[in-house]
Homo-oligomer: A and B are copies of this chain.
């Protein structure tokens, strides 16, 4: 990503505080979706609860999306440019059961899913599990 953290926060209408910039930069530097613990380890002088609250704010303001990959730790990834987290913006994720790497499969938009009558889709958490290219 070449966008600067501050620009993203401005676009997404999030107050660019010190912690938020650090957290967002950290996410931008790592293509791999990061857990709260990952970020905590990476930003050794920033408090966990502050990081946690930044992530919650980011999610709410659609700066990041979260991935429940079943590992027990929620992962966070910066939303691709133009993403508004609407159903048509969503993509699959892949969780490698061997190396525990979580991938955003950005090239695979999820298809239109035929829901039962009167079911309304808002979001989705689509995780394929298996072995990644490095592990298979």
A interface residues, Cβ below 8 angstroms from B: 68-70, 92, 94, 97, 103, 105, 107-108, 111, 113-133, 136
Contact = CB atoms under 8 A, between A and B. Distances in A.
Nearest to A94: B119
B105 A128 contact: no
A128 B116 contact: no
Copies in the complex: 2
B121 A130 contact: yes
B130 A118 contact: no
A70 B125 contact: yes
B115 A128 contact: yes
A128 B87 CA distance: 9
Contact of A130 (B97, B122, B129): B122
B127 A126 contact: yes
Contact of A121 (B68, B114, B124, B129): B129
Contacts of A119: 94, 130-133, 136
